[in-house]
Structure 1
Amino acid sequence: MFHAAETFRSLADPTRLRIIALLRAMELSVGELAQVLGQSQPRVSRHVKILIDAGLAERRKEGSWVFLSVGESGRVAPLFALLDRWTESYGEDPWTVADAARLAAVRADRAAAAVRYFARHAADWDELRSLHVGEAEVEAAIARALADRAVGRLVDIGTGTGRMIELFGRDAEQALGIDRSPDMLRVARAKLAEAGLEAELRQGDMYALPLPSASADTVIIHQVLHYAQQPAAAVSEAARLLAPGGRLLIVDFAPHDREELRARDAHARLGFADEAMLKWLEAAGLQGRVVEHLQGGELTVTIWAGEQSEARLKVVA
């Protein structure tokens, strides 16, 4: 249990107060914090450790990077309320204004890195997209599939560039994207920041998601399952996240014979038959259905949905 005295002691150094203000604005790596603060990484790391020990900040490893965010809301909300009141009464601290300007440079660096990443991979993505119906049509179909109820707590598995969060995150109570690739998470982070969207992004494996059971109302697996060596296990793990009444939406290809996608793009599965997908959803304790087949090219995109069965809802209740 933390007391007020410990909280204020952890903020006794002005640098730590600046760090908290920066993390309130956006999640940052230690290197990015050092860039904004104009201090060495070891020195910033020492300050960060004190804030973490006080529960005011949290760290999360993502590949070779370490990202930092503010601590749980109950711990930091009173502090932010005090800082806001102080600013209203006495104006912004000069350091805050300067840090905000340097933070804009960090955002610009992230955006530039995202552009470079897309430039390297654009040809492959464009070729794959040319094989199936347009993305706008697919996204419209996903929106229709989600339109019958509130999105609630959204989890996007294999978030990639964060597109599903970009589309549906504004309607969610909270949005969280998970991806195995640190590179893709950095792209998503830049894109979502540019769109003005607040979402949590975590590195994780679709077979062992770093989330508790019953923590999501809507789970999306968009064009990810064809990379899975064990798709049934991935579906089961996604279903574990669903709270009572939650739903899982899977978007992927119907069966096809484009063998080059296996060799060139690392597709482990050449699409999925409805029967197989519905069987996996049922085995995961969900009532599965085929939402829509989207034809319009050599590849057909299918949307499947799974919802908790009545029996499972009763057990949970």
Structure 2
Amino acid sequence: MTRALDIFRALGDATRLRILQLVRRMELSVGELAQVLGQSQPRVSRHVKILCDAGLLTRRKEGSWVFVALGAAEAVEPVAVALDGWAGGEDHWGVADAARLQAVRADRAAAAAAWFEGHASEWDAIRSLHVAEEQVEAAMAAVLGPGPLGTLLDIGTGTGRMLELFGAQAGQALGIDRSPEMLRLARAKLHGLAHAELRQANLYQLPLADGAADVAILHHVLHFAEDPAAAIGEAARVLGPGGRLLIADFAAHDREELRARDAHVRLGFDEAQIAAWFAAAGLATARVETLEGGELTVKLWLGRKDGVRLKEVA
């Protein structure tokens, strides 16, 4: 009863209801919530704290940004069911908030796209500044193993390095990227790989049917994603039974300058975040590797669609 009272008190405000509905759509920073709601960050932060105290939301600090996500399912799901059941009629606030949220997402995507277009020719060199790329590639090869990969999907292929590296093991290989300039460079690099295809596409709307891929790779892509959970969910959708998703990305860090300088949306990830996103997407964490020695620590996370847990290495 006490918890129910806390939840109903927390929701007894229109702004807090709007915040909960927005975060149900995607993880957002406090600044982004303030932008959508048209309110000051301190005011939004107070509302977020009340929702967090009630267990409906959680906060996580990344550098100078604070990201807000949904709380535990046992608190959120009954509220979500009720809100959806009561939905109906004209919801002017909901329509306006959805439109402004789309504008926030478009701003994120435009900033990242502009950065990619401006740095496409030096992309491989930029990646190598953070940690020895040959070390990352060797570790990825060890995680995937030497056997056939079946249908391989490289999400955010960039200059096509992952297809170049693993394409020979694949029966069919597809690289997708939203940047035409990146794809132009990838085509020049992969002209000799006859079974590899490149397409311009969005990582949230992959051009594959459900269960069509055997292996999917997100190589230094997730920290650019405005909605990492959705990116992982879409990758899981296209994997068949036993399919594997391999993520190579940075461990959580505090290099705030990477947001402005290199268009990073997220300052790396911790194991609990990835494990939760895997679980929500129907993937089991099969293996975790940690690669230290560069300016930033790189982590490899392997998720498996069939739910078989193989190995975890910290």
Tell me the TM-score normalized by structure 2.
0.58
Task: Indicate the residue corresponding to 2:190 in structure 1.
Answer: 192
Provide the C-alpha distance between the structure 2 equivalents of 1:119 and 1:226, rounded to a whole number of angstroms: 16
Task: Indicate the residue corresponding to 2:262 in structure 1.
Answer: 265
- The residue identity in structure 1 corresponding to 2:251 is A
Structure 1 residues 207 and 155: alpha-carbon distance in aligned structure 2, compared to 1, 3 A threshold: same
Offset from partner CA, 1:106-159 (integer Å, 9 cap, x none): xxxxxxxxxxx999753x764553332x11110000000110642110000000
CA contact (8 A) 1:287 1:306 kept: yes
Task: Indicate the residue corresponding to 2:248 in structure 1.
Answer: 251
- The residue identity in structure 2 corresponding to 1:151 is L
Task: Indicate the residue corresponding to 2:166 in structure 1.
Answer: 168
Higher CA-based Rg: 1
Provide the C-alpha distance between the structure 2 equivalents of 1:304 and 1:139, rounded to a whole number of angstroms: 13
Does residue 276 of structure 1 match 2:273? yes
Offset from partner CA, 1:27-57 (integer Å, 9 cap, x none): xxxxxxxxxxxxxxxxxxxxxxxxxxxxxxx
Provide the C-alpha distance between the structure 2 equivalents of 1:262 and 1:128, rounded to a whole number of angstroms: 15
Provide the C-alpha distance between the structure 1 equivalents of 2:118 and 2:169, rounded to a whole number of angstroms: 27
Task: Indicate the residue corresponding to 2:129 in structure 1.
Answer: 130
CA contact (8 A) 1:285 1:308 kept: yes
Offset from partner CA, 1:219-271 (integer Å, 9 cap, x none): 00100000001000000000001011111000100011111111011100010
Provide the C-alpha distance between the structure 2 equivalents of 1:212 and 1:172, rounded to a whole number of angstroms: 18
The 5 A counterparts of 1:64-213 are: 121-122=121-122, 126=125, 129-132=128-131, 134-147=132-145, 149-193=147-191, 195-213=192-210
Provide the C-alpha distance between the structure 2 equivalents of 1:293 and 1:120, rounded to a whole number of angstroms: 27
Name the SS of the counterpart of 2:210 in structure 1. coil
Provide the C-alpha distance between the structure 2 equivalents of 1:226 and 1:284, rounded to a whole number of angstroms: 18
Name the SS of the counterpart of 1:138 in structure 2. helix
CA contact (8 A) 1:170 1:197 kept: no
RMSD (Å) for aligned C-alpha atoms = 2.1
Offset from partner CA, 1:267-299 (integer Å, 9 cap, x none): 000100011001100110010144210000220
Structure 1 residues 263 and 154: alpha-carbon distance in aligned structure 2, compared to 1, 3 A threshold: same
CA contact (8 A) 1:255 1:271 kept: yes
CA contact (8 A) 1:236 1:284 kept: yes
CA contact (8 A) 1:192 1:198 kept: no
CA contact (8 A) 1:155 1:218 kept: yes
Task: Indicate the residue corresponding to 2:290 in structure 1.
Answer: 293
- The residue identity in structure 1 corresponding to 2:155 is I
Gaps of 5+ in 2: 1-116, 309-314
Task: Indicate the residue corresponding to 1:47 in structure 2.
Answer: none
Name the SS of the counterpart of 1:177 in structure 2. strand
How many positions carry a matched residue from both structures? 192
Provide the C-alpha distance between the structure 1 equivalents of 2:206 and 2:224, rounded to a whole number of angstroms: 16
- The residue identity in structure 2 corresponding to 1:131 is H
CA contact (8 A) 1:153 1:173 kept: yes
CA contact (8 A) 1:213 1:240 kept: yes
Where do 4+ consecutive residues of structure 1 move more than 6 Å? Answer: 117-120
Structure 1 residues 298 and 307: alpha-carbon distance in aligned structure 2, compared to 1, 3 A threshold: same
Task: Indicate the residue corresponding to 1:218 in structure 2.
Answer: 215
CA contact (8 A) 1:154 1:174 kept: yes
CA contact (8 A) 1:145 1:291 kept: no
Provide the C-alpha distance between the structure 2 equivalents of 1:221 and 1:157, rounded to a whole number of angstroms: 5
CA contact (8 A) 2:121 2:185 kept: no
CA contact (8 A) 1:158 1:180 kept: yes
Name the SS of the counterpart of 1:166 in structure 2. helix
Provide the C-alpha distance between the structure 2 equivalents of 1:128 and 1:167, rounded to a whole number of angstroms: 15
Name the SS of the counterpart of 1:246 in structure 2. strand
CA contact (8 A) 1:278 1:289 kept: no
Structure 1 residues 130 and 232: alpha-carbon distance in aligned structure 2, compared to 1, 3 A threshold: same
Task: Indicate the residue corresponding to 1:242 in structure 2.
Answer: 239
Structure 1 residues 187 and 118: alpha-carbon distance in aligned structure 2, compared to 1, 3 A threshold: farther
Provide the C-alpha distance between the structure 1 equivalents of 2:118 and 2:177, rounded to a whole number of angstroms: 17
Provide the C-alpha distance between the structure 2 equivalents of 1:227 and 1:210, rounded to a whole number of angstroms: 20
Provide the C-alpha distance between the structure 2 equivalents of 1:189 and 1:286, rounded to a whole number of angstroms: 32
